Amino acid sequence: MRNYVKEGQKLPLFGVGPYIVYGMAGVTAAAVVLFNYVLKIGILSSLWIVVFRIIGGVLIVLGLVIWFIGAVGSGMSRNISENRLKIDGIYAWVRNPMYSGWWILIFGISLMWHNVFLLIPLIINWGIMTAVLKRTEEKWLLDLYGDEYSQYLKRVNRCIPWKRRRPS
């Protein structure tokens, strides 16, 4: 995958990101159609509609904020073009804020259908994201940054933003 911006840049600017996001959106869309319109099972009513939609709205906003900070507000593109590992800012909380933001946003959107079975794509999408990242970007980064990245893997979660762990 060569979408380099300048000569000597060792990592692609976009990586596998679009494929992960399209895959997660596809799984979620298929689940919405299957459970809400084909099988018509798991659809909640009354107060649960409000609860799911409020939580969904909060997750949509949270996902957008996490994605925006990771994509636009972090200076990541500069680190990529200069072949430097980004470990500060939001990257001290989550290794993949752009993917995590999309994961959270897509989950928030699925909650708008107030269907209990739409919790299943959350797990499937996490699995997609984890499997693809382990086999692609994490290998690239380990090859490129070695022990520095290995230590970073131990301190910071892959997909769920969480307080930074102390190094062992």
User: Per the structure block, which two tokens stand in for 47?
Assistant: 């107060």
* Distance between CA atoms of residues 97 and 80, nearest Å: 15
pLDDT digits (tens, 9 = 90+) for 50-67: 999 999 999 999 999 999
What Rg value do the Cα atoms of the chain yield, rounded?
Answer: 18
Q: Render pLDDT for 98-127 as a digit per residue (tens, 0 to 9).
A: 999 999 999 999 999 999 999 999 999 999
Q: Please, which residues bridge with residue 43 across strands?
A: 115
Does pTM surpass 0.85? yes
**Local confidence band at 162 (pLDDT 50, 70, 90 cut-offs):** confident
Q: Taking the chain, what is the end-to-end CA distance rounded to the nearest angstrom? A: 35
Of 108, 134, 126, 132, nearest to 19 by C-alpha is: 132
Q: Tokens for 134?
A: 């382990």
101/76 Cα distance (integer angstroms): 15
